[in-house]
Amino acid sequence: MTDTALPIQDYALLDDEECNARIIKAKEQLNGECIILGHHYQRNEVFQHADFSGDSLKLSRQAAQSQAKYIVFCGVHFMAEVADILSRPEQIAILPDMAAGCSMADMANKVKVQQCWDELATVLDVENAVTPITYINSAADLKAFCGSHEGIVCTSSNAEKILNWCFERREKVLFFPDQHLGRNTGVQMDIPLQHMVTWDFSKPMGGLSVEQIKQAKMILWKGHCSVHQAFRPEHIDEFKAKYPETKVISHPEACFEVCQKSDYIGSTENILKIVKEAEPDTRWLVATELNLVNRLHEACKDQGKNVHFMAPTLSMCSTMFRTDPQHLAWVLENLVAGHVVNQVSVSQEESALAKQALDNMLQAS
């Protein structure tokens, strides 16, 4: 045990190979006290060290079931928060780089959502007419907001089931922060586009008329993912002009026009499953994060499958990319030295409310 935590500055200039060796050694020394979770969007240099890989929900469930004292989440901040909320009180969630946020999650915040709720209350009996539903890509205080209004969380794997749960209870939903997941799922459920309105949080009353709000079934927060908005319908047209046999699969965070032109729409887990289980010698155009697509291509190429990234310019999620081998080595060696650095901890009160919304989801899906 060292007296003080080892500083990150000592790691910044280490090369990846050295970090790699130090990560492996630290894991051995921690001897099962720590599990490393790797989200599908992590780069290979980090992903290779994960004990479990998956989407945010699968990983948090894994964390809660494990006996490990330390949960090192190689992903982004909201994921480590969910791990903290769903794990036992004595378990500690760690995010290797605290700057690993999610630009989509940042598009909604508690003050703006509360303002929206209050404005809706001027035209609707909001507590009886509207269920708030937050995509898991959101801060813990927004999950707590949902928990305190009999609302719920959803992921891209279960959005349809969760929306059905909502509509069994109340006539409308307020869906945040991702308009695209909301709209694409609503369309799959045959909800007409005119019954889905977009709440522009920079305008009074979301930029909507009283009539539009009264008629809406889904009120969609005007947020998006900067990575998934790079995919455009013309990318599909151009690719298919060259390779007409291509199957297209898109994440529901991609825009409506892209999802409409796709053969399949799926969460990260579903994209992996569909492409891996597809016939050999098939060609796939995939609209989701680059690291996942590259790994999927490597995993499937022996079956003669070709898996391509949809956008012409290669872009990865820059915040997922923040977790590098240097930060991973730093947090692990600190644990070996008896120091917890970068713990993500949600306050008890917020955690209890957020857990209600997460539990609603777990029961409903």
Q: Which of 62, 131, 155, 158 binds ligand CIZ (CB under 6 A)?
A: 155
Measure the N-to-C terminal CA separation of the chain; round to a whole number of Å.
Answer: 44
CA gap 92, 109 in Å, rounded = 25
Q: Does 95 bind ligand SF4 (CB under 6 A)?
A: no
Q: Does 76 bind ligand SF4 (CB under 6 A)?
A: yes
Q: Does 236 bind ligand SF4 (CB under 6 A)?
A: no
Closest distance to ligand SF4 from the beta carbon of 231 (Å): 12
Whether residue 154 contacts residue 133, with contact meaning beta carbons closer than 8 Å, is answered with yes
Q: Does 267 bind ligand CIZ (CB under 6 A)?
A: yes
Count CB neighbours of 14 within 10 A: 16
341 by Cβ neighbours in 10 Å (0-12 / 13-18 / 19+) ranks as buried
Which of ligand SF4, ligand CIZ, none binds 267 (CB below 5-8 Å, type-dependent)? ligand CIZ
Q: What is the DSSP string of 175-231?
A: EESBHHHHHHHHHHTT--GGGEEEE-TTSGGGG--HHHHHH-SEEEESB--TTGGG-
Which of ligand CIZ, ligand SF4, none binds 55 (CB below 5-8 Å, type-dependent)? ligand CIZ
Distances in whole angstroms, Cα of residue 355 to Cα of each of 61, 118, 211, 284, 344? 13, 23, 35, 38, 16
Size of the site for ligand CIZ (CB under 6 A): 12
Q: Does 323 bind ligand CIZ (CB under 6 A)?
A: no
Strands 172-176 and 152-154: unpaired
| Shorter beta-carbon distance to ligand CIZ: residue 27 or 228 | 228
Size of the site for ligand SF4 (CB under 6 A): 14
Closest distance to ligand SF4 from the beta carbon of 180 (Å): 10
Closest distance to ligand SF4 from the beta carbon of 15 (Å): 26
CA gap 53, 77 in Å, rounded = 16
Q: Does 218 bind ligand SF4 (CB under 6 A)?
A: no
Which of ligand CIZ, ligand SF4, none binds 320 (CB below 5-8 Å, type-dependent)? ligand SF4
| Shorter beta-carbon distance to ligand SF4: residue 180 or 305 | 180
Token digits of residue 141: 């205080």
| Shorter beta-carbon distance to ligand CIZ: residue 156 or 262 | 156
Q: Does 289 bind ligand SF4 (CB under 6 A)?
A: yes
Q: What is the CA radius of gyration of the chain?
A: 21
Closest distance to ligand CIZ from the beta carbon of 66 (Å): 18
Report which of 85, 43, 47 is spatially closest to residue 63, judged by C-alpha positions.
85
| Shorter beta-carbon distance to ligand CIZ: residue 126 or 271 | 271
Q: Which stretch binds ligand CIZ (CB under 6 A): 84-92, 183-191, 263-271, 328-336?
A: 263-271
- The DSSP code for 279 is P
Q: Does 91 bind ligand CIZ (CB under 6 A)?
A: no
Count CB neighbours of 348 within 10 A: 9
Q: Which residue ranges make up the site for ligand CIZ (CB under 6 A)?
A: 39, 55-57, 136-137, 155-156, 251, 267-269
Binding site for ligand SF4 (CB under 6 A): 41, 76, 102-104, 137, 225-227, 253, 289, 317, 319-320
